[in-house]
Structures are given as structure tokens and as C-alpha cells.
Amino acid sequence: MNGLDGPDNPLPRRRRRLDRVMMTSMTLLTVLGVFWVVWILLTTLERGFEAFSPDLFLKDTPPPGVAGGGLRNAFVGSLELLAVALAIGTPVGLLAGTWLGEFARRHPMAGAVVRFLNDILLSAPSIVIGLFAYTLLVAPLKHFSALAGGVALALIMIPVVVRTTDEMLRLVPDALREAAVALGIPYWRMVVHISWKAASRGILTGILLALARLSGETAPLLFTALNSPYFSTALDKPIASLPVVIFQFAMSPYPDWQKLAWAGAFVAMVFILALGLLARWLQARGTSST
Amino acid sequence: MSVTTQTMNASQQGPATLAPRRRDTGDKRFARLTGGFALIVAATLFAILVALVLESWPVWRTFGPRFLWDSSWDAVAGRFGALPFIYGTLVSSAIALVLATPVSFAIAVFLSELSPRWLRQPLATTIELLAGIPSIVYGMWGLLVFAPWFARFEPVLSATLGQIPGIGTLFRGPPLGIGLLTAGVVLAVMILPFISSIMRDVFLLTPAALKESAYALGATRWEVVRRVVLPYTRSAVIGGIFLGLGRALGETMAVTFIIGNTNEIPPSLLLPGASIASVIANEFTEAVTELHRASLLALGLVLFLITFVVLALAKLLLLRLDGLAKGKPA
């Protein structure tokens, strides 16, 4: 790179040797780290692919010890929970993020405090969020419900959307805002038609990434949506979800259940990686075209 | 940014359009609406705190602060103490951090300084995507793939590290494959992509002029990393490590599968234990008595407070680099 190994190198040998030792160990450690992560990825893909069959989407979870069956109720349950989370999390996160991105500059202290609290919420342990949703919706109503699970997921989603909305709005150039306002548009219409529009791709990316994170969340669902061996779409009843079923089946001693768990993990991982790639692609397109 | 708003529909108001506006254009309402939601988001954190304190009140009334350092947990006898779980949480996270930090650092250095250009972006993207793999996959892999493999490796550990006087007992025990050490290793693998992508982002913020000056003076690559990049980004690097620690402390699924789930403090790292998150996940739906459920909620409160402190520290450390990136002196 900078001719370190050349014969005319004036650097003392001790420094050159230290450099080579450190850089080699960095490379080896990188290989080690990547090895572990790739190991996980490959086993899940391999075992999941082996257990994969169309029945996965056509049949419901089987009773213990029974071969066959699928994960239909778990997929449907997960999609429903995601829909509830999306329906609550997107508007709340978008509006709160809009305040941070558009109005907080008039209240810098309040803005800093809200950002700080939101960032803490963003990384708060998801099991604690689950406990909170339990005290909010399960304990008072005295039964587990899909709604409580959806709310728990929404609570995890909101800080992600708030943060991306805030960051994306702050990237919108002020000249754009001033141009619109100079034409006589009320400030709020400028936000809706100019700022949101300019930031839409970034915000969408954030929502996709939040969805990717939500679809693997297990802990907040354990005592809110609980689990169910049956096909159900009722919001006021316990509902099966993919991560919780994977948890239940992988921990069980039955090989048939473990097989289904691998298949479920495979589908979840493909879904999440696809969402991640889609988000990245949107982001890349956004930066190159504007 | 104050905006002088003029009414849009001039035709209706005739020549008076330049006069001060008479009707509310909705700006105030919009600001109030968004501000209200921002307030809700900010208040959520306090709502969580209040809910957990209220719901765990029976515990504090019955046991007092002794709950925190009592090591017995017996649902049948109605005695509850948090110590085994606090111990399990802290120890498994500490193991994860000790293992993951050097490797993450290496990956970040490799990606920002060493990697050939063609490999840089694909590798960085892969690592970021891997940070998105759900923790349940790590847990499942840990239980069904890693634990059986690790059980064969554990006698080696007992025969080597286990022979060191003093700390040796920590590494002696039956080769079960599951336990605190396994949980720590799997947690390490889980937070690895997370910490390394933060560190890489931070390293890339080092001004090129600084690094180039050092190279021009004849510094080696290691010396540039050690004496230019690291000092410049130190607080943010530590902040990134703390964010990883926050994740490890609160992680449920990756740990519950493999920590073994016993409610006492194991004398060795090779023996099963439990963490706060794992005991909540295992026992919450089966808690019959009021006190048992309240004790689990109290554990949730303890976890929330521990992670709050760690995350707040992380945030403050990362903020300092934000200042640097904007050109303010440290």
C-alpha cells in the first residue's frame, strides 16, 4: 500500500514488524468473526431448506409427535401482528418524527430531550416492552390477545420510525422549504407536500427496516399474543406467531417439531434479508438519482 | 424560521390579501398535533417505569431492597431474590463483550484500512445484513448446533483454563454444552455484526487529512490506527461497545435457549444458570401467585434500570463524536 516492505524502507524493523503482526492478526480475527456468522447463516439455510415443503404454508401446526403439518397459522398470525404494529407505529412515529425534524429547531432543548429519550426507547430490551404491554392491555382485560402483541410490536417500531423520519427530514435542504413558503403555502402544507415528499424514500426505508426487525421479535409476544395451536385471526384472542412457534418447537424434544422450527427460521430469515436488501436498494437509488 | 403566511385564495378576499392574516391556516394545529405525538413518545419511557414500579410494588413491600441481593428463588415457598439472575445477566454479557470487542475492532479496522477495495462494500453490506438476523435464530442455532459441538470442547477447557489456581473453578464442570459460557459465546456472535458496523462507521468519520498527514510522516498502518484513528474516535468506539452491551444485557431469545435455566448461582461458567430476561420468558405465563408475578415484573424493572444507565452512557459517548464530526473541538 505504501511500500512498507520495499528494501529501501527507512522505517526501523521493529515498527515494520509490529505493523505486520498487528495487521495480520486483524485480518485473522476478521476471518474468525466472519466464519462464525457465516456458520449460523449456512446451517439455518441448509436445515431450513431440507425441511421446506409447500405444506408449510398450507397446513397448521401439528400436535406433538405427529409428522407433517405446517406453519400456516403462525405465518398468518405474524402477518396480522405486523399489520397492527404498522397501523399504529407508522402514523405515531411519522408525526412525532416530523415534530423533531421540522419544529424542534425552535425548541432545541426539548428536541434534544425527545431525541435522547427516543434513542433509549430504541434500544430498550424488548422483553421489558413486552412486560409493559402486558400491564397495559393484558392484565386489565384479563386475557392475552393479538391486539396486545401488535401494540407491543408497535412500541418497538415507533422509535425506529421517529428516528428515520427525523434524520431524513433534516437532510431536506432548507432552500426547498423557503422556496415553497415564499410562494405562500402554509407551513404545514409545505411539510406535507414538500418535506415529506422529499424524504419519502428514506422514511420508507426506515419503515422496511423496522418491519424486518419486528418480524423476528419473540420476547415481547410471549406474554401478550401468547400462542395458539389453532388458526385464528381474532384480535381479542391469543394468536400464533412465527417466532413464538419457532421458540416452542425448537425447545421441544420432538424431531418433527424441530424440523418445522428450522423451516420457519429459514422463511423468517429469507423474509428479513429480502426486506433488508430492498431497503438498501431503495436507499442507493435515492442517493444516486437526486 | 418564522413564516409569514398569506392567504391563498386571493379572489375571495379582494385587495386585502396583504393585510395580516385573519384565519388560522392550520399551522398551529399541525405543530400541536406533531408535538403531541412527540410528547407521547417521550412519555412512553416514563410510563414504562411507572407501570413496572406499580406492578412490582408487592415485592418491594414484602422483601424491601433485600430482593436485590437475596439469592433464593422458590416459587413454592414464596421466597424471591434477584441475585442469581442479576449475576447471570452480568456474567453472560461480560463474556460476550470480552469476546466480541477485539473481533469487532479487527473487522472494523479491516474494513476501513486493510480490505481490498472490491471486497469492502460487499463485506460491509453482509455484516450489516447479518446484524438484522433475529436473535431467535442465534438461540436455536446455539441449542441445536453449537451446544453439542461445544460440549466436546469443554473438557479441553477444564483441562487447561480449569487448572489455573483461583479462577480455575470457573472453568471446571461437566461437559453439558449449555450454561453461562455458552450463552456468552452465542451472545458474542450475535452482537459482533452490530458492534463492528458501528465501529466501522465511526472509523470512517476520521478526516482523511489527519490519516494522510500521519502516513506522510512515515507512520505505519497500525500506527495510524493506534495513534490517529483510535484517539480521534475513542469516545464513540466506547459508546458503540456500550450499545452492544445494552443489547447483550436485554437479550432474551439467544440466551433462554442455552443458559440452562436453573434458579441458583452456578459456581462454574460451564454450569447452567439464568439471566433476568430468560427467567421472565420462562416463568411469566406460569406465575400463579401475585407475588411470583410481581417478582418477575420487579426483575424487569431491574433490567430496565441497568440497561437505561448503560444506554444513556453509550448515547453520551456517541454524542461527543457527533460534535467532532460537525467540526467542534472535543
| DSSP sequence for B160-189 | HGGGSTTGGGGG-S---S-SHHHHHHHHHH
pLDDT of residue B238: 92
pLDDT of residue A74: 94
**Average pLDDT across chain A, whole number:** 90
d(Cα B158, Cα B174) in Å, to the nearest integer? 9
Report the gap between the CA of B271 and the closest CA in chain A (Å): 19
Q: B95 near B191, Cβ under 8 Å? A: no
Report the gap between the CA of A124 and the closest CA in chain B (Å): 7
Return the residue of B nearest to A28 by Cα: B106
Share of chain B above pLDDT 70, in %: 90
Global pTM value: 0.90
The conformation of residue A253, written as its DSSP 8-state character, comes to S
- The angle formed by the CA atoms of residues A60, A64 and A68, to the nearest 5 degrees, is 50
Return the residue of B nearest to A14 by Cα: B220
d(Cα B147, Cα B143) in Å, to the nearest integer? 5
Say whether A26 and B218 touch across the interface (CB within 8 A): no
Structure confidence at residue B23 as a pLDDT band (50, 70, 90): low
Structure confidence at residue B10 as a pLDDT band (50, 70, 90): very low
**Ramachandran angles phi, psi of A52, nearest 5°:** -75, 135
- Tell me the average pLDDT across B10-32: 60
d(Cα A269, Cα A246) in Å, to the nearest integer? 12
pLDDT of residue A211: 94
pLDDT in tens, A196-223: 999 999 999 999 999 999 999 999 999 9
Return the residue of B nearest to A277 by Cα: B129
A11, A93, A226: residue with CB nearest B285: A226
Taking 70 as the threshold, does the pLDDT of residue B141 lie above it? yes
- Tell me the average pLDDT across A80-94: 96
Q: B82 near B74, Cβ under 8 Å? A: no
Taking 50 as the threshold, does the pLDDT of residue B4 lie above it? no
Helices (H) and strands (E) in chain B, counts: 14, 2
Q: Which helix (H) or strand (E) holds B80?
A: strand B79-80
Say whether A15 and B223 touch across the interface (CB within 8 A): yes
CB neighbour list of residue A151: distance below 8 Å, 6 or more residues apart: A84, A85, A88, A133, A136, A137, A224
d(Cα A259, Cα A271) in Å, to the nearest integer? 19
Taking 70 as the threshold, does the pLDDT of residue A5 lie above it? no
Say whether A127 and B40 touch across the interface (CB within 8 A): no
A chain contacts of residue B221, beta-carbon cutoff 8 Å: 1-2, 4, 19, 23
pLDDT of residue B21: 53
- Tell me the average pLDDT across B282-293: 91
d(Cα A267, Cα A248) in Å, to the nearest integer? 16
- Kindly give the residue spans of alpha helices, DSSP state H, lying in A60-195: 72-98, 108-123, 126-133, 146-171, 174-182, 187-190
Closest residue by Cα to residue B145 from B192, B178, B187: B178
Q: Looking at the complex, does the CB of residue B49 fall below 8 Å from at least one CB of chain A? A: no
Closest residue by Cα to residue B303 from B255, B240, B264: B255
Structure confidence at residue B158 as a pLDDT band (50, 70, 90): confident
pLDDT of residue A165: 95
Taking the CA of residue B313 as centre, how many other CA atoms within 13 Å lie in the half-sphere pointing to its CB?
14
Taking 70 as the threshold, does the pLDDT of residue B263 lie above it? yes
Q: Where are the domains of chain A?
A: 3-50, 56-289
Taking 90 as the threshold, does the pLDDT of residue A265 lie above it? yes
Closest residue by Cα to residue B70 from B256, B264, B261: B264
Closest residue by Cα to residue B142 from A250, A131, A8: A250
The conformation of residue B255, written as its DSSP 8-state character, comes to H
B chain contacts of residue A1, beta-carbon cutoff 8 Å: 221
Q: Which three cell numbers stand for residue A167?
A: 434524520
d(Cα B173, Cα A84) in Å, to the nearest integer? 47
Q: A165 near A100, Cβ under 8 Å? A: yes
Structure confidence at residue B155 as a pLDDT band (50, 70, 90): confident
- Give the CATH superfamily of A56-289: MetI-like (1.10.3720.10)
Share of chain B above pLDDT 90, in %: 63
Taking 80 as the threshold, does the pLDDT of residue B5 lie above it? no
pLDDT of residue A157: 96
- Tell me the average pLDDT across B97-113: 94
Q: B134 near A218, Cβ under 8 Å? A: yes
pLDDT of residue A21: 93
The conformation of residue B272, written as its DSSP 8-state character, comes to -
d(Cα A59, Cα A73) in Å, to the nearest integer? 8
Say whether A120 and B243 touch across the interface (CB within 8 A): no
Taking 80 as the threshold, does the pLDDT of residue A227 lie above it? yes
Closest residue by Cα to residue B275 from B106, B140, B139: B139
Share of chain A above pLDDT 90, in %: 72
d(Cα B125, Cα A280) in Å, to the nearest integer? 9
Lowest model confidence (mean pLDDT) among A110-124, B19-33, B298-312:
B19-33
pLDDT in tens, A119-128: 999 999 999 9
pLDDT of residue B26: 84
The SS3 of residue B224 is helix
The SS3 of residue B197 is helix
Q: Which amino acid is at B18?
A: L
The conformation of residue A57, written as its DSSP 8-state character, comes to H
- Tell me the average pLDDT across A48-53: 90
Structure confidence at residue B132 as a pLDDT band (50, 70, 90): confident
Say whether B141 and A10 touch across the interface (CB within 8 A): no
B29, B218, B315: residue with CB nearest A119: B315
The more confidently predicted of residues B224 and A287 is B224
d(Cα B172, Cα A251) in Å, to the nearest integer? 26
d(Cα A217, Cα B248) in Å, to the nearest integer? 15
Taking 80 as the threshold, does the pLDDT of residue B22 lie above it? no
**Interface residue of B9, B45, B137, B308 to substitute, partner A, most A CBs within 10 Å:** B137
The more confidently predicted of residues B91 and A4 is B91
Residue A100 Cα distances to A109, A168, A224, B96, angstroms: 11, 11, 31, 35
Interface of A with B in 245-274 (CB under 8 A): 246-247, 250-251, 258, 261-262, 265, 268-269, 272-273
pLDDT of residue B315: 87
Q: A95 near A161, Cβ under 8 Å? A: no
Taking 50 as the threshold, does the pLDDT of residue B1 lie above it? no
B192, B285, B307: residue with CB nearest A222: B285
Q: Which three cell numbers stand for residue A133?
A: 404491554
Q: B108 near B200, Cβ under 8 Å? A: yes
Taking 60 as the threshold, does the pLDDT of residue B330 lie above it? no
A30, A116, A155: residue with CB nearest B315: A116
d(Cα B122, Cα B130) in Å, to the nearest integer? 12
Lowest model confidence (mean pLDDT) among A150-159, B33-42, B144-153, B318-327:
B318-327
Q: Looking at the complex, does the CB of residue A166 fall below 8 Å from at least one CB of chain B? A: no
Structure confidence at residue B321 as a pLDDT band (50, 70, 90): low
Structure confidence at residue B18 as a pLDDT band (50, 70, 90): very low
Q: Which three cell numbers stand for residue A121?
A: 426507547
**Average pLDDT across chain B, whole number:** 87
d(Cα B109, Cα A26) in Å, to the nearest integer? 7
